[in-house]
Amino acid sequence: MQQLAFYYLRTPLISFSQLLDLLDRGDLVTFVQQPVVGEAIFLASPTLYEQIQSDPQLRNDKLRQTVLKYVLRMGSRSTPFGLFAGCWLGHVGPVTSLEVLDRQVNCHYRLSAPILGELLNYLNTNSSLRHSLRYQVNTSLYPVGKVYRYLEVDASDSPARFFTSQLQGNPALRCVLRLARQSTPFQTYVKELTQLGYEACESQAFVDQLIADQVLVSELSLNVTGADALDRLNEVLQHLPEGKTIWASLNQLSSLLAQRACLKTKNAAIRTLFQEQFGLVLPPIPLLQGDTLFTGQGHQLSASLLRGLQKSLQNLFCLYAALRPAEALVSFKKAFYARYGDQEIPLSVALDAESGIGYGNQPVAGDTPIMETLMAASLLGLNQQESTPLNPAWDKWLLKRYESWQTQSKPVLELTNADLTGWSDSPISIPESYYVLGYFLAASSKDLDTGRYKFRSKVMAGPSAFSLLGRFCRADKELNKQVQGAYQQLQKQNTDRIYAEIVHLPSIAVGNVVQRPHLSEYEIPYLGLSTLPPEKQIPITDLWVSVPNGERVILRSRRLNKQIVPRLTTAHNYLSGLPTYRFLCDLQQQESPLMVQWPWGSLSTFRYLPRVEYRQIILQEARWRLDQADIDNSITDAENVARWRQLWQWPRFVALIQADQELFLDMDNSDCQKLLVSTLRRLTPLYVFEWLQTPDQCCVHGPQGPLTHEVILPFVQRRSSLASPPVKISNLSIERTFIPGSDWLFLKVYGGPQVCKQLLIKLGKLARSSIRAGTISHWFFIRYEDPEPHLRFRFHLTDKNNYTSLLSACQRQLQVWINTGEIHRVQLDTYQRELERYGVERIENTEWIFWTDSDAVLTIRQNEDAEQALLGAALLGTDRYLTDFGLNLVDKSTFCLKGFQALFNQEGAQSSLKKQLANLYRQNQSILIKLMTKAESPSLTDELHHLIFYNRSHRAKPFMLSPIFTNDQLQPYIASLIHLFINRLFDQHQRSYEVLVYHHLARFYKSQLAQNK
């Protein structure tokens, strides 16, 4: 492993000594009137800038605190953000020199991605341009049997919503798709279609419809990689006769961006240009994205300093095992090998939720807006687990080490080599490259070279050293040259594989983060525009995947016949992204899932946690946890802070850290004291960290004094061949079974959500006709994942001699989907009764109740797919079960409240989830009251649902009466029936809908009880 010849230095706009002087004077008013400060605030928040102009003396306390936070950031936080902080390329040399006394500020401005989106939308809907442009195929489109599937986006929502769409293949479509493999003029499509015998007007309408349906995508799309988006638009339009006028306007826009006018003037001129030239009134959001670069005499770190640091850092690689590997990728490997063995199949087929095995648990189809509202915030489902995927063994080891520290009476928890070996002595797969983000603590550059320093390692991650650098490569040409050179060298060392950059635009809102130059020779475009030549693009349809021996995912380009290694050279958090995007990003981590941070895990709730160090490396600062109860309302804010400082021995300088947001505070300053207390009143718990970059430990010096800083240190090596650790699995079997050929026919049918809707109706109708014919007495179904989604059907035969004929009838119903591959497995299995759950004496009656419920759901799903209607059915059907078992209003309220709390706690949910659920209840309240009370004339749908559940109750009543339930048996039994009812009713996210149903009913019953009083 070796350090590259460069690193990246990040520093705030003003020096730390300037910030402290400002806090001592308390003169925020004068400071924010400085031109550069006003520019910085205007770029970050035009709204805040206008508020300051309206109240220049900052008399409003809330405004003063907001301005204070911005100013504190400007002098303490190094994370690049407009003019508040910037970057500076440094080089490795013989000695360290971090004196940047002639530092100069250069901010590179470009149109913000949302504003570019407004412009692109205008251009693509311009009738004079539309038929002069080039179009290419939607990069998510792929064939499945005789149809084509792809994703289209509704950008009107925030965040954007994606929908799975499907087209039937035909000669005209196949003709267009053949041409659309690369960017092709609109008129060429029309000409080719007319040559097939279609009328010209018919051909043009057909191509127009494909554009409207997003099957074809315009060349006027926001490019994720390559040249600046506005420059590229100019280049496209200048070659179009119809685009000359618009081209002139865009040139004028480029000139405005290049002018050295003040930002407010520039901003107003841009708004005027958009309105006068394009008729667009821009929304009240920042128009410009600014990247600040510092220039001057230069700075460097010594090679000997970095070699010594690297030796210690590599000993910490074992800490990566504190985090679990990407669970979605582990599940994918297992499911893929179970179905396909050692086969290699198209990636698009493998990831197809209908005919393949899909990826992760993220919904794609956009027909469940209620659930997407909750899922988008990662409030329900597996996303919560994925946000903190800790190894369970880590908590045990950490608690043991913490308890050992408590007995030593030391202020710092110091790790030793024995500690690290005790945590994990398994082989470590070192990535091909990795980066370290952190900062040095030393009095001077000389102290760094003589070993008198500490290094705070915030994060150490691979497999790419450049993930945090890609965004700045467009503005920083020298950085771009260094990163491209490193990628080229890596490619030369690994000629058996191709490194390909993932090109994806999750939404226009994140365009500012993901835009970057071309960094590798090849790119994988997926719902993102690549401007590389077609031969340098690897479309999704060219990628094939295999999992030899179930151990390692191999991605191969069929055209290039080489293994493909995806890379995402940007800091975008992809965990809530589309399945294909997540798969490609997760695949980066397969060989070396390096991510070294210090997670406190279950110890995070402790009031105080010490600083953690290993040799000269600081892994975590000391930390205190505050709650609202810590505030004594009978004393002043200053007295509260003084009490806390004395109680917990706080240093003068601390920081508030929430997620990735860090706010420096000086506890000797009254404004900072007020800010701390007001923040605690608003956010709890609040985490207070010691601030380590004190003036005497800031080794970077600028013209106005010491600067806080961060460095990104990139390291590279040849790739490791170490394998991932094996996955442990367990098995369980039970007795009291019905094997194939007995009285129960148990069928598992594997397919995606869409085909499962259809096969439920088909086999449900077959079951009903079989009951009328006397072949079966009853039946039921449930939805299941093990790990693939499927439906489980159980038919009880009146005569087991009819087993074969019933099985054949099922096969005939399913054959059409088996032929297309949409049903990829039909499996006979042994029915194992859940005697422990339902009881030996009650299991047969329960199976009859399952039949009444399955038949009711079948009737509903034959007529209804809309999420709102299904939610209404879930609420009504759950309430009916409670009534059927004799619960009164008080009992119902208690039951649903307990049910909600139990599921809420199991999901590990946060207070923000309760707020979101409350919002949804307010939206649904009037509909719920109308549905449950029949206060108004019900709709036809509601009337049908009432009738369906009346019939269910009538049929199920004989089986509910005996045997008699004890007090501790009844409620768990009802809860099981409700759980399975919701499982049957909804295609996916059933657990989350169950939380929603219990929440809404608990709120409804509570309001009814209040009214009755």
Residue 404: the pLDDT is: 94
Residue 373: the pLDDT is: 63
Q: Which helix (H) or strand (E) holds 611?
A: strand 611-614
Q: What would the mean pLDDT of 512-517 be, rounded to a whole number?
A: 94
* Closest residue by Cα to residue 467 from 178, 712, 702: 712
Q: Taking the model in full, what pTM does it have?
A: 0.76
Helical pair 889-906 and 867-884, crossing angle rounded to 10 deg: 120
Ordered structural domains, the chain, with CATH: 122-291 (no CATH), 302-596 (no CATH), 624-691 (no CATH), 730-832 (3.30.70.100), 834-1013 (no CATH)
Residue 526: the pLDDT is: 98
CA quadruple 693, 695, 699, 700: dihedral, nearest 10: 100
Which residues does 75 contact at the CB level (< 8 Å), separation at least 6? 12, 13, 14, 15, 16, 18, 19, 22, 664, 708
Phi-psi region at 300: left, alpha or beta (left = phi > 0; alpha = psi -120 to 50): beta
Q: What would the mean pLDDT of 636-654 be, rounded to a whole number?
A: 97
Q: Peptide bond preceding 725: is omega within 30 degrees of 0, i.e. cis?
A: no
Q: What would the mean pLDDT of 857-876 be, rounded to a whole number?
A: 91
pLDDT for 820 beyond 90: no
Helical pair 35-44 and 46-54, crossing angle rounded to 10 deg: 130
- In sign, the C-alpha dihedral spanning 485, 490, 492, 495 is negative
* Closest residue by Cα to residue 71 from 8, 13, 126, 153: 13
Q: In this structure, how many other beta carbons lie within 10 angstroms of the beta carbon of residue 742? A: 14
pLDDT for 734 beyond 50: no
pLDDT for 952 beyond 50: yes
Please give the Cα distance from 837 to 969 (Å, whole number): 10
Q: Tens digits of per-residue pLDDT, 244-272?
A: 889 999 999 999 998 888 899 999 999 99
pLDDT class for 923, splitting at 50, 70, 90? confident
Amino acid at 741: G
pLDDT class for 324, splitting at 50, 70, 90? confident
Q: Which helix (H) or strand (E) holds 964?
A: none
Please give the Cα distance from 242 to 33 (Å, whole number): 46
Residue 467 near residue 460 (C-beta atoms within 8 A): no
Q: Tens digits of per-residue pLDDT, 453-472?
A: 999 999 999 889 999 999 99
pLDDT for 769 beyond 90: yes
pLDDT class for 181, splitting at 50, 70, 90? very high
pLDDT for 619 beyond 90: yes
Mean pLDDT of the chain: 90
pLDDT for 772 beyond 80: yes
Residue 369: the pLDDT is: 66
pLDDT class for 854, splitting at 50, 70, 90? very high
CA quadruple 251, 254, 260, 265: dihedral, nearest 10: 90
Residue 382: the pLDDT is: 35
Percent of the chain with pLDDT over 70: 93
Q: Tens digits of per-residue pLDDT, 370-424?
A: 766 665 544 443 333 334 467 788 888 999 999 999 999 899 999 999 998 888 7
pLDDT class for 863, splitting at 50, 70, 90? confident
Residue 742 near residue 763 (C-beta atoms within 8 A): no
pLDDT for 912 beyond 70: no
Lookup: tokens for 192 = 């080719």
Residue 33 near residue 747 (C-beta atoms within 8 A): no
Q: Tens digits of per-residue pLDDT, 188-199?
A: 999 999 999 999
